[in-house]
Amino acid sequence: MSDQPQPLRAIAASVLLAVENGQSLSQCLPPALARLPMSERPALQALCYGSCRWFHRLDDELQGRLKKPLRASDRVVHHLMLVALFQLRFSQQASYAVLNETVEACRALDKPHLTGLVNGVLRAAERTGAPEPSTDASRVSHPAWMVEKLRHNWPEDWQAIADANNAQAPMTLRVNALRFSRDEYLALLTEAGIDAVATRFAPNGIQLQQPVPVDRLPWFADGAVSVQDEAAQLCTTVLDLAPGQRVLDACAAPGGKTCAILEACSELAEVVAIDESEARLPRVQENLDRLDLAATLKQADAADIDQWWDGEPFDRILLDVPCSASGVIRRHPDIKLLRRESDIVPLASIQLGLLEAMWSILKPGGRLVYATCSVFPQENHRIIQRFRKQQEAALLMEPEVLWGRDMGPGRQLLPDPNSHDGFFYAVLEKPEA
């Protein structure tokens, strides 16, 4: 490959290839962005996110246009054509520029033997326009298994869920209640020329009309606000926090909810934040530092309590388990490429195992909040049902809230294009001994 800086589309194609090979956008995009001047970074980000968001629809079209698949060693050119199709179908870019620059990018990727094919495919795509998607899955641009599962789980809502997954998520803030009231911060935003409204359900939430870089947010570096979706903020509304409690955040990184807990109740005895990921745990400390908050951090498998627990039971436990993240696809469209149907059963078993372990260190009379950012019942209310078959004494609480759907055990929020992500919460209490 030449030493020339790579064209944007060539970089985007390589990022897409990395995602297809199992890396998340949050892993492979930052190094690609770092190679570009600041001015070009938003364009690369938009290409990568957009191409992932519409991957299944565009791939359906591309496969229909190719007489035979490219060789495995030329796979990056397949992705280059997907990036170009994304621009033809979903951007304002002039098509002649898309065609010319994609052919250039093909050369820059050291695939000059494929420039004719790229040119021919894209010319035909421009001439004939977008074809009818061949399946529902390609129409809504999701993997077929996911559409089947959504349709099975949410026969009335699957289409709305898929549409919400393809929409741009709003930018939502959590005002640090220790510093400002929501109204005070809304006034600061108005002064700064940033249009925003209060969130409907989260007491300290503010939704911006347009996303802005965080350094434009008043007092951001000083800990006045954090970026956090409204659904995630709701954890503090069901934890029933009170001064003197010892609280565990069992799967804490990057610490959004740990910080929300500390802001919601300033006189907690202690907050212990655990995460098994060595790479992610420092993010919790960074967030705590910016907000001038303190917690006890431990890197451990939360379920392996012998490894980390000091024997002192917790009054409150937040268990925000690892999950399919099927409720936050609009923020992480690469999930549609990364997740496999076969991931769900092992995830459910990890989730149940974590719940059992956390239950054992909850104080009698204490409360445990189980949370996921999933819309699949297998990870949500069915986990609670399975758990309560073993722990019949576990009391299921039904907090009086205005959000979400009652699932028997727990409440399910579906992703809403105008507000919150998809999320699930269930609240359990341990009877007094």
Ligand X SMILES: C[S@@+](CC[C@H](N)C(=O)[O-])C[C@H]1O[C@@H](n2cnc3c(N)ncnc32)[C@H](O)[C@@H]1O
Q: In the complex, which residues of this chain contact ligand X (CB under 6 A)?
A: 232, 251-257, 274-277, 280, 301-303, 320, 322, 354
Known binding residue 257? Answer is: yes
Distance of CA 346 to the CA centre of its chain: 20
d(CA 134, CA 238): 44
Element at 82 (helix H, strand E): helix 75-90
Least distance (Å) from ligand X to the CB of residue 246? 18
Element at 198 (helix H, strand E): strand 196-198
Known binding residue 364? Answer is: no
Least distance (Å) from ligand X to the CB of residue 247? 13
- Among candidate residues 165, 142, 141, the one with its CA nearest the CA of residue 329: 165
Choice between 7 and 205, CB closer to ligand X: 205
Known binding residue 255? Answer is: yes
Choice between 115 and 299, CB closer to ligand X: 299
Burial 267-297 (b: 16+ CB within 10 A, else e): ebeebbbbbbeeeebbbbbebbebbebebeb
Choice between 197 and 303, CB closer to ligand X: 303
Least distance (Å) from ligand X to the CB of residue 274? 5
Known binding residue 222? Answer is: no
Determine the straight-line distance between the first and last CA of the chain, rounded to whole angstroms: 69
Residue nearest to ligand X (CB): 251
Known binding residue 193? Answer is: no
d(CA 410, CA 371): 9
d(CA 217, CA 84): 34
Least distance (Å) from ligand X to the CB of residue 213? 21
CB distance 261 to 295 below 8 Å: no
Choice between 197 and 300, CB closer to ligand X: 300
Is 52 annotated in the active site? Answer: no
Residues tagged active-site: 373
Q: Residues marked as binding for S-adenosyl-L-methionine?
A: 251-257, 275, 301, 320
Known binding residues are 251-257, 275, 301, 320
